[in-house]
Amino acid sequence: MKGGISGSVITPGNLLDSLIIERTHLDPTDDDAMPPDNHPLSAGQKNILKQWVQEGGFWPKGQPLKAHSEEQLALRANAANKKLLSLEAFPSSISLHHAEDFNSYTILAKYADGVSRDVTFESSFTIKGPEIIRIQDATIFPTSNGKTKLGVNYRNLKIDIPISIDDYEKSRGISFNLDVMPIFMKAGCNTGSCHGSARGQDRFMLSLFGYDPAGDYFRITREQGTRRINLALPEESMLLEKAIGAVPHTGGKLFDKKSNHWQTLHNWLKAGAPEDSEKVARPERVELFPPSLLLEGNGATQQLTVLAHYSDGTTRDVTPLTVFQSNNIQSAAVDNGGEITAGKRGEAFVMARFNVFTVGIQTIVIPEGLNYNRPKTEEFTYVDTLVHNKLSKLRITPSPLCSDEVFIRRVYLDITGMLPGIEELTKFLQDKSATKRSLLIDQLLERKEFTELWVMKFAELLQIQTDANEGMSYKATLLYFNWLKDRIANNVSMDQIVKELITSKGGTFVSPPTNYYQVERDNLKIAENVAQVFMGMRIQCAQCHNHPFDQWTQNDYYSFASFFSQVGRKRGADPREHVIYNRKNGEINHPVHRKPLPPKFLGGHTPEIPKDVDRREVLANWLASPENPYFAKNLANLVWAHFFGQGIIEPVDDVRVSNPPANPELLDELGRRFTAYKYDFKKLVKDVCNSRTYQLSTQSTQSNQDDRRNFARATMRRLRAEILLDAISQVTETKNKFPGLPRGAKAVQIANGKVNNYFLTTFGRAKRESVCSCEVVMEPSLSQALHLLNGETTNKRITQGKVISKFLTEGQSAEEIIRWLYRRCYSRNPTPDELSNLAQTITSGDEEKGLIDIFWALLNSKEFIFNH
C-alpha cells in the first residue's frame, strides 16, 4: 500500500509503527485524525484494522474490496469463533469465450451448524498457473487464451476454481435476442405496467416479458417509420434518449448514458440494428448460485450469481441482466445487482428471471447467536426426518404429540369423514398397545368411507355435474360418477385412472370416462385443466403471453394444447349421448405467428407421434408416468394437503417457480415413494398418517408459534361442508335427504355437483364450476353462524333424532347423558369441572330442555366445528 508524504501506511506485524493505526486512534478532534472531520472509526472497525496489520497486512493482487456495515463487521468477527465445515465456490469452474466475456464468483463458507456466509471479500486469492485473467470486483475477465486456476484461501480452507479461456481474440458480436432483449426486461421496459401492457404505453408496445422478440424487433426498427432509432446518429435514437431521460419519458430515467445497458444498445444501433441470424445461440437454461441459503444475523449479505447456458454449449454470466425478486423482503431483501441482505427471522424465496427462465432459491434467515440444539425428537417415518431437517434449519422445535382423544377424532374425520362411534372410542382409549394408532389407521383405510371421501374429491376435480344445455345429462353424470367410484373403490392405481380419462373414446354412456371431454368442451380449456389437475400448474396466463411468474411460455402452452386439437365430438344414437373420437386432424394455431406447434409435453420433450396414433395416448403415457416430474408430486401434495389443511405447495394447484414448496425434500420424497408404490393412494396415506408430524398437537411451542408453513404443529381446520353436515347427522342420529340419493345418504356421497342444499352452499361446498382448489370455501361467515344458531340443521335435528328423550326414557342421568354427548361430539370425556358446571344448569323436572340446550351448544362450539 502506497503511503503519502508521511511515509508508508503500515508496517506489517507492527502496530506501533503503522501510521494507519496511529492516525485512526488519535483523538477525533485532532487535525491528523483519520477519518477526518471528527468522524472516528468504531471500536469494531479499529479492531479489524489492528487484527489485519498484526496478521501481516496481507494485500493480495486482485483482491476485491467492499465496505462493510457495522453489523456486518460484528457478524464477521463473531463468525471467527464458529466451526467451519467447508468452502465452496460458485460457479465451481469457469469457462470464458471471446474478449467481452466475464464471470463473477462467490465464495461460500459453510459452518457446522448449517449456516453459510459469503466470504468472497474475506478470502485471499492466488492465480495458480498462467496469468491469463484479470480480477476486478469478484469478477474474472480474460486476458489471453488458455487454462489456469484461481486458488481460494479462507481460514486455511483452500479450493481451486479451474478457468479456461478460448476465442479470446474474437469478438462475440452483438445480438438483438441475447444482448438487447434482456435489457428490456432488466430495465423494466416490458413489464405489464409499462410497454409490456397489451396496448403498450404511450403508443410503444413491447411483448410482455419478451414473449415475442421478432415482434419487438419489428416495433423498434420499423413501426412508425424508423422514428425510434437513428442509425445515422445512434446516440440520438429515441430508444436511447428516452431510456436515459434525455427527453421526457413517462417511465423516467432507467439508466445512465455510457452505462453498460446504454453501451449495449448503442453498440447494437451502431452496428446497424441488425436482426439475429438463425445461427445465434438460444439460452436453454439458467442456473442460480448458491443453490440454497441459511443466513445468520440481521444484515448478513450474500451475492447471487446467475449463469445462462446456451444452445451452442457456451455459458455466460448474466447476473447484471437478471431481474431479482424476493417474496419476503422483510427476511431477505435482494437488490438490483443480486445481493441478498438478511433481515428478520423467517424464510424467503429469492427469484432470478432471465429471458424466459425463472429460477429461485430458498433463503432462511435466523437471528444471530441463537442457542439451539436440534432436539432428539422421535422420528416415526421418513416424513418426520425430512420435516425435522427443515425445522432444524429454522431453529424450530415441533410441538408434542396429541392425545389419544384428539388423535382418534382427527384420524376418523380425515380418513373416513366421520366421527368415531362411542364403542370405537372406548376400545381405542382402553387399548394399551404401542401400535394402536397405526393399527387404527390400517383399519380405517379399509372402510368404504375412505373411498367415498376421495371419490368426492376427485369428482370435484373432474367437475362432475349435470348441465343439460352443455350436454351433460343426468344419466351421463351418474354413469361418470359411478365409473370413478368403481375405479377408486377397486384401488385402481391413479396412473391407470388418469390414462383411462385422457385417452377415453366412444359414447358418453357406454364409455363413461369420455365425459371428461363433455364436461369441458373447449380444447384449450381441457389442456389447462389437465395441467392444473394432474400437474398442479396454472398455465392460463401463457395462453396470451409468457407466464409472468413462471417458466411457461406461450409456446409451451400451445404445444401442450396441441395434444387435444384432434378431439372430435358428435351426437350419439340417444340424443343425450355424445361420442368422443379421434378426428385425426385439426390444429390449434399459435396466436403470434398463426401456425400450429407440434405437441410437446409441458416441461418435457417433443415426442415423435406417428400418423394415425391418437395424440392423447402419447400424452397419457407420459403424463401418468415417472417421466413426468410433476405427476407423482402433485398427487402426493394433494394427499398431504388433505391431512394437514395445506399443501407442501399451497395452493395445491398453483405449482410454479415463484410459489415453491415449503419443504422441497419432503415433497420429492413423497413423490418418489408414491411412484414406487405404483401410485397406490393407501400406501401413501399410511406413510403420512403414521408420521409423528401428522400426530402433533395443535398447541404451539415458543419457537413454532409464528410458523404456519412447516408443519411444526397441527393446524386447526374447519370441517368442510359435507363432513360437518354428516357429523351433525351422525351425532343427532338423523337422516339426510338429497335429490337422487336414498334417505340417510351422506353428503359426501352426492354425485352431482348441481345438487342444491342450503347448508352445503353456506358452508362452502365446491360448485364444481372450475377445477380450481379455491372452489371449496373453508372461511367462516355470518350466514354460517346464524344457521348453526337459529337454523334447522341444529335445532330441528336435535329434536327429530330424539337422542336426549330416548336416553331419558331409558332412565339415564343428566350427567351420563352429558358424558355421552361429549364423547359423541368431541371424542373425549368432559373434565370434572365441565361436567359439574353443565349439570348445574339443568333444572330438575325439565332435564330434556336443559340437555337439548347443551347439545345445541356443543354443535355450535368450535371444538365440534373444527378438526384439531
Minimum CB separation from another protein for residue 868, in Å?
A: 6
Q: Is 388 exposed, middle or buried (0-12, 13-18, 19+ CB in 10 A)?
A: buried
Cβ at position 278, least distance to another protein in Å: 35
Site string for another protein, 525-564 (x = CB under 8 A): -------------x--x------xx---------------
Instruction: Please identify which residue in 410, 642, 824, 868 interacts with another protein, judged by CB under 8 A.
Output: 868
> Could you say whether residue 655 binds another protein (CB under 8 A)?
no
Three cell numbers at 324? Answer: 431479482
Among candidate residues 715, 701, 713, the one with its CA nearest the CA of residue 372:
701
Question: Is residue 299 at the binding interface for another protein, with CB under 8 A as the rule?
Answer: yes
C-alpha cell at 586: 385439426
Question: Restricting to residues 56-95, which ones interact with another protein according to CB under 8 A?
Answer: 64-67, 69-71
Q: Between residues 263 and 860, which has the closer beta carbon with respect to another protein?
A: 860
* Positive or negative torsion for Cα 239, 245, 249, 251: positive
339 touching another protein, by CB under 8 A: yes
Could you say whether residue 40 binds another protein (CB under 8 A)?
yes
The beta-carbon contacts of 606-614 under 8 Å, at least 24 apart in sequence, are 606/559, 612/584, 614/503, 614/505, 614/566, 614/582
**How near is the Cβ of 790 to another protein at its closest, in Å?**
4
Instruction: Yes or no: say if 196 and 208 are a contact pair by the CB < 8 Å rule.
Output: yes
Q: How many CB atoms lie within 10 A of CB 561?
A: 27
Nearer to another protein, 298 or 482 (CB): 298
**2, 12, 14, 853 from 22: Cα distances, Å:** 16, 14, 11, 85
Q: Are 552 and 544 in contact (CB under 8 A)?
A: no
Q: Is the dihedral of CA 518, 522, 523, 529 positive or negative?
A: negative
User: Which of 302, 305, 341, 363 is the binder for another protein (CB under 8 A)?
Assistant: 341
* Residue that is written with C-alpha cell 413454532 in the block: 704
Q: Which stretch binds another protein (CB under 8 A): 179-187, 686-694, 804-812, 847-855?
A: 847-855
By CB under 8 A, tell whether 253 contacts another protein. Answer: no
Q: Please, which of residues 691-750 interact with another protein by CB under 8 A?
A: 698-700, 715-718
Residue 427 touching another protein (CB under 8 A): no
As measured in angstroms, the least distance from the Cβ of 85 to another protein is 27
CA distance linking residue 530 with residue 552, whole number of Å: 15
Closer residue to another protein (CB): 677 or 856: 856
Task: Determine if 35 is a binding residue for another protein (CB under 8 A).
Answer: yes
Report the residue from 41, 84, 280, 755 that binds another protein according to the rule CB under 8 A.
41
Q: Which of 297, 302, 363, 358 is nearest to 328 (CA)?
A: 363
**Shortest Å distance, C-beta 66 to another protein:** 6
Least distance in angstroms from the C-beta of 795 to another protein: 5
CA distance 379 to 392: 13
Write the binding mask 773 to 812 for another protein: x where contact by CB under 8 A, - elsewhere: -x---xxxxxxxxxx-xxxx--xx----------------
- Total binding residues for another protein by CB under 8 A? 82
Q: Which is nearer to another protein, 10 or 240 (CB)?
A: 10
Choose the stretch contacting another protein; rule: CB under 8 A; options: 483-491, 603-611, 683-691, 852-860: 852-860
Cβ-based nearer residue to another protein, 132 or 348: 348
In sequence order, what E strands does 137-296 have? 139-142, 146-154, 157-166, 283-289, 292-296
The CA radius of gyration of the chain, in Å to the nearest whole number, is 33
Single-letter code of the amino acid located at 422: I
Q: Is 372 in the site for another protein (CB under 8 A)?
A: no
Q: x/- string (CB under 8 A) for another protein, residues 671-690?
A: --------------------
Quote the CA–CA distance of 657 and 808 in Å, as a whole number.
61
Contacting residue, 571, 758, 816, 836, with another protein by CB under 8 A:
758
Site string for another protein, 169-198 (x = CB under 8 A): -----------------------x----xx
Binding to another protein by residue 284, rule CB under 8 A? no
Site membership for another protein, residue 766 (CB under 8 A):
no
Closest CB to another protein among residues 164, 327: 327
CB of 689 to another protein, least distance (A): 22
Query: What residues pair up with 346 in beta bridges, in sequence order?
Result: 365
Angstrom distance (rounded) from CA 629 to CA 632: 7
Is it true that the peptide bond before 35 is cis, omega within 30 degrees of 0? yes
Grid coordinates representing 861?
362450539
Q: 3-state DSSP call for residue 358?
A: strand
Closest to another protein by CB, 351 vs 387, is 351
The H or E element that residue 348 is part of is: strand 346-354
CB of 349 or CB of 454, closer to another protein: 349
Q: Which residue has the cell 486469492?
A: 125
Number of C-beta neighbours around residue 642 at 10 A: 19
